[in-house]
Structure 1
């Protein structure tokens, strides 16, 4: 049976969190070598062929009530794009490993759900965020300038028009604009 795990990194270390309740009672064991981490606990096994080399002598592990935390000292301060070597290289390693989560995919799926659930003003704000994030720097400048100069009453994406002069306030029909201090 494979173990669920996650990881994060700093410039000097990689920390692998293995979700395992009462690890001490399950007789867990961790073996750390130059490019491999192998953990077993009763019916559980985790075998990772690491993307980059580590320093085993400066690496450690510790059991908590709900997890085992494995801290690996990086050999160099390189940022790891992934915890493990690509599947082709790792296929040479024997036992099957726990599947790593694709966090970018999960985030995009969550954003899609939020988009569908958003109603009214939230849906409108999501639309503007999407337009802004996928626009050119010129369009972003136009949106920022028109929104700020008009007191939030105008949002333009045309930099050619907006760059020429100050954007005037255009309040909604039936309302009147007043200066704050007057």
Structure 2
């Protein structure tokens, strides 16, 4: 049994779970919704989420099988963000009857920044970092510099480290002959001024 890769994003009333199971056969996919448990199985792939961080409405929750992923919509019984799929957080519904869920109750408002970041990066995937070094946000830029550093010789690496640390992150040089002559100056972007943080 293998666990398929999955990720989620959420709103106050719904959590959308993407299960990456390329070419899943809709006839073979089995999904089970319970108030605090979700189960997915297809062939040798199984995903069990228990206990869910909050309670869901099994009757309203549903899913669709796509070519690349299975998208599951978990409808929350109580408004609010979970921040995670599973957890032992007390069920917000256990303290009051389901029929009279007070709308004034604040369930931990907690943005799922990872999910938001992934969503933004997924939207930007149309352009690759080879076509535009700025595509894909910070992750692509970091990947570019990691590759540059990994493929560099010892002098180039030394130049990169020295120039970056001495300039406070405003300069990155690969020329060791230039950098080794002295301290690398701080060069803030045009229109900005450099201020040293007080310790």
- TM (norm. structure 1) is 0.52
Aligned pair in 2 of structure 1 residues 4, 26: CA closer, same or farther (>3 Å)? farther
Paired with 2:18 and 2:24, the residues of 1 have a C-alpha distance of: 12
Aligned pair in 2 of structure 1 residues 108, 84: CA closer, same or farther (>3 Å)? farther
Residues 115, 126 of structure 1: 8 Å contact kept: no
**Residue 79 of structure 1: which of 73, 78, 81 is its match?**
81
Residues 54, 72 of structure 1: 8 Å contact kept: yes
The secondary structure found in structure 1 opposite 2:169 is helix
Aligned pair in 2 of structure 1 residues 22, 114: CA closer, same or farther (>3 Å)? closer
Whose strand proportion is higher, 1 or 2? 1
Paired with 1:55 and 1:25, the residues of 2 have a C-alpha distance of: 22
Displaced runs of 4+ in structure 1, greater than 2 A? 107-120, 123-126
Q: In the TM superposition, what is the alpha-carbon distance from 1:21 to its structure 2 partner?
A: 2.0
Paired with 1:46 and 1:15, the residues of 2 have a C-alpha distance of: 15
Paired with 1:53 and 1:111, the residues of 2 have a C-alpha distance of: 39
Whose helix proportion is higher, 1 or 2? 1
Q: RCO greater where, 1 or 2, for CA within 8 Å and sep 6 or more?
A: 1
2:125 aligned partner: none
Residue-by-residue CA offset, 1:143-178 (whole Å, 9 max, x unaligned): xxxx89xx73x624279xxxxxxxxxxxxxxxxxxx
Residues 13, 73 of structure 1: 8 Å contact kept: yes
Q: In the TM superposition, what is the alpha-carbon distance from 1:22 to its structure 2 partner?
A: 2.3
2:118 aligned partner: none
Is 1:32 aligned with 2:27? no
1:127 aligned partner: 169
Residues 11, 80 of structure 2: 8 Å contact kept: no
2:49 aligned partner: 48
Residues 39, 47 of structure 2: 8 Å contact kept: yes
Residues 26, 41 of structure 1: 8 Å contact kept: no
1:8 aligned partner: 9
Structure number, greater radius of gyration: 1
Aligned pair in 2 of structure 1 residues 126, 48: CA closer, same or farther (>3 Å)? farther
- TM (norm. structure 2) is 0.48
Residue-by-residue CA offset, 1:95-137 (whole Å, 9 max, x unaligned): xxxxxxxx59xx99877655554899xx869825xxxxxxxxx
Paired with 1:158 and 1:47, the residues of 2 have a C-alpha distance of: 50
The secondary structure found in structure 1 opposite 2:15 is strand
1:155 aligned partner: 193
Q: In the TM superposition, what is the alpha-carbon distance from 1:10 to its structure 2 partner?
A: 1.4
